[in-house]
Chain A
């Protein structure tokens, strides 16, 4: 979404490159962030891969062969929203295993915990655009508070 917006901004600000397409067909050409647009006599548009904002705060993996969650040895509950939100996209969907890099068991467990957190209404900002952002506005029984028992997760 942000990629399209950036490319649209470029098209609006300059008429030098009218043939530039905003949608790229080749997935390998999808750059992470379009950065520098330096103005002056020359117009230079660069695409650069920015370092991830998460890098300085990454947890050090003491057991590299094991998945990060198993290595951390944490008992993650459905209320630990700060940890669970790392595995969630901006519209509330869970990231696939090839992106998160967890083992099958932990991926299923995190998936179940994220479902619990979403149902309990603890992550209202990580929701699709058409949803109620406030859990109190939900329909009938869904507007009341809920909690879940993590021991019921089977994986």
Chain B
């Protein structure tokens, strides 16, 4: 194989490592996005029997955001198989016990035999401390879906003061 062909072969078939910052992202929207990278669906050489999935490292999984009151109301069901083995776990309860466990990605995939192997290629970390040998492989960052909001106390004071004001207080108003 010529040098150019060798490089082209390597570039097409190599397994790429991506990194994704899950802070303030909806896990279900992120799952739809990450599923494509994990299964290799974005590649022109994709085929279900062609092992072309990529690795994805998810960081800050402890900071994921759910809409409205879903933290309180979403439940995950698990049955051990034994009688009386049914458990309903609330989303916040599950997240506080294990922030790396996000059932969204697993549930978004088709329930075939490949699913377990594809999930092995997903690495989730609760904060940004990732082992160095894993980060050394990473060559792409996946763009976030939702913009990250900024807290009011993280803005510099000068910027808050100089921001264009929509309304002004009335003349006889006592500022509390």
- The yes or no verdict on A and B being binding partners is yes
For A146, list chain B residues within 8 Å (CB): 65-68, 71
Residue of B63, B90, B165, B173 near A145 (CB, 8 A) is: B63
Complex Cα distance, B71 from A72, in Å, reads: 35
Which of A68, A79, A85, A145 counts the most chain B CB atoms within 10 A? A145
The reply to whether B176 and A91 contact each other, CB–CB distance below 8 Å, is yes
Chain A residues closer than 8 Å to B176, beta-carbon distance: 1-2, 89-91
CA distance A132 to B150 in the complex (A): 18
Contact of B153 (CB < 8 Å), options: A28, A125, A148: A125
Which residue among A100, A126, A144 has the maximum number of chain B CB atoms within 10 Å of its CB?
A144
Measured as residues with beta carbon below 8 angstroms from the partner, the interface class of chain A is 35 or more
Residues of B within 8 A of A104 (CB): none
Question: CB of A52 within 8 A of chain B?
Answer: yes
Q: Which of A90, A101, A123, A141 contacts B167 (CB 8 A)?
A: A101
Note all chain A residues with C-beta closer than 8 A to B159: 82
User: Per-position contact with B for A48-66: 1 when CB-CB < 8 Å, else 0?
Assistant: 0100111101110000000
CA distance A152 to B159 in the complex (A): 30
As a 0/1 sequence over residues 109 to 148 of chain A, the CB contacts with chain B under 8 angstroms (1 = contact) are: 0000000000011111110000000000000110011111
Q: List 28 A-B contacts (CB under 8 A).
A: A1-B176, A2-B175, A32-B171, A32-B172, A32-B173, A52-B168, A54-B168, A54-B169, A57-B162, A58-B164, A69-B166, A79-B150, A81-B155, A82-B159, A82-B160, A82-B163, A87-B167, A99-B169, A122-B151, A122-B152, A124-B152, A141-B71, A141-B91, A145-B24, A146-B66, A147-B66, A147-B149, A149-B68
- B residues near A (Cβ < 8 Å) are 23-24, 26, 63-68, 71-72, 90-92, 95-96, 146-147, 149-153, 155, 159-176
